[in-house]
Amino acid sequence: MIIRIHLGVWMREWIIETLSEIISRKAVNPKFGGTGEKERADYIQELIEKMGFTVERYDVKDEKGYTRSNLVIEVEGEDYPIWVIAHLDTVSAGTGWETDPFKLVVKGDKVFGRGVNDNGIGIMSLLILLKRISEGKVKLKHTLKAAFVADEEAGSKYGVVHLIEKGLFKEGEKAIIPDFGSEKGDIIEIAEKGILWLKMITKGKQGHGSMPHKADNAHLKSARLMLELYESLRRRFYKINKFFDPPYSTFEPTMKEKNVDSINIIPGEDVIYWDCRVIPDYSLEEVIEFFEGIGARYDATFEVVMKEEASFTKEDDEIVEKLKNSIKTILNVEPRLIGIGGGTVAGILRKVGIPSVAWGINSGTEHKPNEWELIENYIKTERVIEDVLTK
């Protein structure tokens, strides 16, 4: 049986009105120049409480003194709990917008604004689900644990990690994270590569640009080291894992720090950063040791900026099978399982024993100027998640 999606006038108006209020309450992550999620969380909490639910709030101050807000709602069912988690924060607007990024614009079946996709899909699908439950249109089989969390865009220290530290996640629970997806909703993310960010510091001896024989050019050493590492890493960590795209580990030198203030100064220190995405076939410790082994010949040292080991949910886990079946039923598409090189909340939860999947239906416009989303995608995403929770 295929369930057709109908977007009634009343539901469309409610989605637009609600989303307009959410987008106007900026929740730019402080790492990107914002002030956090509190104002947006205040609005969503009031909205959910008017539906008749009890909201547990877990606020925490960050290093800049901003309040980072997390909301948790539990609706009892007969079977084991399934978490559905959306994040409240966004990246900054950036440039290139044709409209005000923090004022919702409706054009036909599309809405425009920073966050309508990322993570508007998660926020709105979860709000629609709660609204339908409050109206008696949904009878849950599984207990729903719904969360609107902070700080996803900058590592989740003040979001899901904070909730983990509070002991909210229990053995036997599972999770759906509507913060990844495709236009057809036919892709389920069940694995993530390990993420390793390294700061590479190469030492030399500063000198005058006209007297290189009396100096030791750290910039030149750094360039030579970078090229040797770039080639050697691929030979050393060569395995292919077809589950991922690309199906191999990647090692990219990215950001570079300023080394001197004048063209005629030979630098005595040079700093370059590496972004490494490593398939589960290798540990990140192996990668770090390889960097250090080659770097020692160039008077280079390495500092770990970020280190997240690879994560995966078993292909035959019940949450994977349930989601696959619901996608087939509601959307009439055949889902496929993949791994990604990025990081989501699902990866964090897997590491504390919560089998998790990341899935949704979206336009793929996250973090771009003129971010947009189809209104019907909020409904479609909600219907699939609802189907999982009721069967």
DSSP result, 80-141: EEEEEEEE--B----S--SS-TTS-EEETTEEESTTTTTTHHHHHHHHHHHHHHHTT----S
Q: Report how far apart, in Å, the C-alpha atoms of 283 and of each of 308, 328, 344, 360 are.
A: 10, 36, 19, 29
Q: What are phi and psi of 380, to 5 degrees?
A: -60, -45
| CA pair distance 139, 296, nearest whole angstrom | 62
**Catalytic residue chosen out of the listed positions 37, 118, 151, 152:** 152
DSSP result, 234-276: HHHS----TTBSSSS-EEEEEEE----SSTTEE-SEEEEEEEE
Q: Report how far apart, in Å, the C-alpha atoms of 174 and of each of 70, 85, 357, 372 are.
A: 19, 11, 9, 30
Structure token pair of residue 196? 């390793």
**The 110-112 sheet, strands edge to edge:** 105-107, 110-112, 372-374
Task: Verify whether residue 152 is a known catalytic residue.
Answer: yes
Q: 23-33 burial by CB neighbour count: b if 16+ within 10 A, else e?
A: bebbbbbbeee
- Residues catalogued as catalytic: 89, 152
